[in-house]
Amino acid sequence: MGAATLALDGQVALVTGGARRVGAEIVRHLHAAGASVAIHCHRSLGEAEALAAELDARRAGSALVCTADLLQSGSFRPLVGSVVARLGGLAILVNNASTFYPTPLASLTATQWTDLIGTNLTAPLFLAQAAADELRRARGLIVNIADIHGLRPLPRYLAYSTAKAALIHLTRGLARELAPQVRVNAVAPGPVMWPEDALDAAQQQEIVGRTLLQRAGTPADVARAVCFFAADAPYVTGQVLSVDGGRSQRW
């Protein structure tokens, strides 16, 4: 008997910010489901190359690394074009790349606003525009990685929360713009991975204590939600799935 067919066999996925943390887990899950994966990075080239080598060792020629600064307006079409040229198409776009840091109103600068809006909103919009024709041909999918704080703002993270709220609105708007050929959904994680400028143990426990499940999630929880949209939800579009252990039910 031949090998079993995987759910995403023959599909090509581009994951922005795919070299590390949640992005890398999304890449691994999509690859395990059969997709060829383009791992976008900006500065994490070594980690991206190591991840691509890991995946290519499992299935030769199934992973590549693409570098681009998503704050540069000229980067979007070349990035998509490189993926299509090297992997033969594009069926799944995961807008995962994100900048995250506090911006209290009193100290918020125009530079910070441009950075946070740029990575969390502008890049997903114009990558969707650049990829639209390929995604239509593939009858494909966009998954935007939002945040539960796009539904309710996180204190002291005004610009970030605003950007993620707009990303949720963009998700619903793109679902209308790209229908019927392309589905567009979002995943809104809660506490699944602590920031690298880590909160102390007491702050982490206070956040976990506000979830219904009384525990933090993992990057794999987000990756499984992305794979659900990619492989198991062909009649779902314009939706936002909170992966937060019930955190958004206990504001």
Tens digits of per-residue pLDDT, 6-49?
A: 999 999 999 999 999 999 999 999 999 999 999 999 999 999 99
Residue 21 within a domain:
yes
For residue 105, pLDDT over 90 is answered with yes
- The torsion angle over the Cα atoms of residues 37, 6, 178 and 148, rounded to 10 degrees, is -70
Look at the alpha carbons of 239, 243, 246, 249 in this order and tell me if their dihedral is positive or negative. negative
CATH of the domain at 23: 3.40.50.720
pLDDT bucket at 199, cuts 50 / 70 / 90: low
pLDDT at 89: 98
State the SS3 of the chain: CCCCCCCCCCCEEEECCCCCHHHHHHHHHHHHCCCEEEEEECCCHHHHHHHHHHHHHHCCCCEEEEECCCCCHHHHHHHHHHHHHHHCCCCEEEECCCCCCCECHHHCCHHHHHHHHHHHHHHHHHHHHHHHHHHHHHCCEEEEECCHHHCCCCCCEHHHHHHHHHHHHHHHHHHHHHCCCCEEEEEEECCCCCCCCCCCHHHHHHHHCCCCCCCCCCHHHHHHHHHHHHHCCCCCCCCEEEECCCHHHCC
pTM over 0.85: yes
For residue 139, pLDDT over 60 is answered with yes
- CB count, 10 Å around CB of 249? 11
Residue 245 within a domain:
yes
For residue 1, pLDDT over 50 is answered with no
Residue 113 within a domain:
yes
**Residues carrying an active site annotation:** 160
Range(s) of the domain holding residue 63: 12-249
- Annotate 51-87 with b (16+ C-beta within 10 A) or e (fewer): bbeebeeeeeebbbbbbbebeeeebbeebbebbbeeb
Nearest to 244 by CA among 155, 167, 162, 147: 147
pLDDT bucket at 3, cuts 50 / 70 / 90: low
What percent of the chain is predicted at pLDDT more than 70? Answer: 97
Residue 2 within a domain:
no
Residue 105 within a domain:
yes
Tens digits of per-residue pLDDT, 144-196?
A: 999 999 999 999 999 999 999 999 999 999 999 999 999 999 999 999 987 77
- The number of distinct structural domains making up the chain is 1
Residue 90 within a domain:
yes
Residue 64 within a domain:
yes
pLDDT bucket at 4, cuts 50 / 70 / 90: low
Residue 151 within a domain:
yes
